[in-house]
Amino acid sequence: MSTVKIRQQGGALIVTIPRDYGNELGWEVGTEITIERNGEGINLQPAKRKPRGKFTVEELLTQIDSEEIAALNKDIKAFTDATPVGKEYW
């Protein structure tokens, strides 16, 4: 257990996390944490990443624009039809 003092910086109250605690937890400068009240104390935990969305393969395939794919294929046709100049293969 460590005892630290609360300081003020601007309008915020600041508590320093001892380095050995941070090292043990894998926390470093820039680590986002959540703060939650727990009775007369608080709990600090690493912030969980917000899910950016999970899609099934079927959902992803429905988002494909076939006209855009056709335009892209047309744009690269010169490359796909070209003969190798050196030792490249495709």
Q: What are the sequence ranges of the domains in the chain?
A: 7-46
What is the residue type of 90?
W
State the average pLDDT for the chain. Answer: 89
Please, are residues 10 and 16 in contact by the beta-carbon 8 Å criterion? no
What is the residue type of 60?
L
Model pLDDT for residues 5-32, shown as the tens digit of each residue: 999 999 999 999 999 999 999 999 999 9
3-class SS at 7?
strand
0.85 exceeded by pTM: no
CA atoms within 13 A on the CB side of 16: 10
> How many whole angstroms separate alpha carbon 39 and alpha carbon 55?
39
Question: For residue 37, what are the CA distances in angstroms to 5, 34, 54, 61?
Answer: 18, 10, 31, 44
Model pLDDT for residues 34-67, shown as the tens digit of each residue: 999 999 999 999 998 766 778 888 888 898 999 9
